[in-house]
Amino acid sequence: MGAQKLKQGSKGKLVVTLQKFLNSKGKLPKPIPENGDFGPETKEAVRYFQRKAGLKGELDGTVGPETAGALAKLVGPSAASFAKEFGEAEDADKKKEQEKAAEESQPKIAGKPGKLGNLEYKSGAYVISIPPNPANTFTLVLVFGGLTHIPPVYEAAMALSDYVKNAILVFSEPGGSFSAAQPQLKPLLAQTQTRIGAISVCGYSLGGQAAYRDYGHATKAVGLIDPTTYHGDLAKLDNKAIFSHNPDNWSEPKYASIVAAQNEAGTLGTAGVYEKTSVRHGAYPKYFLDKFAGKLL
């Protein structure tokens, strides 16, 4: 079993089977004798089939696993035993066993069930939430916290079922980054068969600086949640920006001029959404994520 080959000079029942398959499915220019004798006609018929089938490893008129497998696929289930004689079926079984063993050897990542059927995982500077029924494609929402760390942005999102059920959520400390979060996220995605679709990046307070830094990773929206902002950040803003602020929450003297420039850009239509509010700073994550869910998700 396995590694058998048919070539010119071979004889027997397997050669008859080969000749029958070539005549019935090989689309040969003319039929070949079905006599069990692998002669020049059979060799040329095999070479013709190999070229037509676009095989890469076997093109010399010799029948090995690749040619036998290609013929068997055309003939259907009744040809399984034919392919197995050449080791193809055996090799496929071994490959499946190896893949299964590799999968089983991977350590399962320990998470905890969330309140809405999601899976939550904490690692270092990140908290990750995988949606219920995860084997699907979801928007990734990465939210950087501020000086008050992850809890305010985490609690705000977890109070909104649309985020928990319909997004992959990654909460980061302000010193984290999109790239540094990936090694934490990828094993969870593989384990749960979850895929990333669009990407939104958000930054609250000091975390706004991280959002500006990772602006280019966003494919859907950048949420700037009453953010720490400097003049140099303005150049990064485009139509993905959702900028919401309360100027009374900030004492930086230049902040008012920065806000005015951003509002002007929004008015001119060269940037995204800009608004000025009277929302107190601590309430901003819940207010922002709730109001702009339709744009972030």
**Mean of pLDDT values over 157-172:** 96
- 88 or 37: which carries more pLDDT confidence? 37
Tell me the pTM.
Answer: 0.62
- 199 or 54: which carries more pLDDT confidence? 199
* pLDDT score for 156: 97
* pLDDT score for 1: 40
* pLDDT score for 3: 56
**Mean of pLDDT values over 224-235:** 86
* pLDDT score for 269: 54
pLDDT tens-digit profile of 93-111? 455 566 666 555 555 666 7
Domain ranges of the chain: 13-105, 112-296
**Mean of pLDDT values over 217-226:** 96
Burial of 177 (0-12, 13-18, 19+ CB in 10 A): middle
Helices assigned H by DSSP within the chain: 13-25, 40-53, 65-75, 80-84, 88-105, 151-158, 161-166, 178-192, 207-213, 255-267, 284-291, 293-296
- 188 or 290: which carries more pLDDT confidence? 290
Residue with tokens 């055996």: 90
pLDDT tens-digit profile of 115-154? 889 999 998 789 999 999 999 999 999 999 999 999 999 9
* pLDDT score for 261: 67
What is the assigned CATH class of domain 112-296?
Answer: alpha beta
Q: How far is CA 131 from the centre of its chain?
A: 15
* pLDDT score for 94: 55
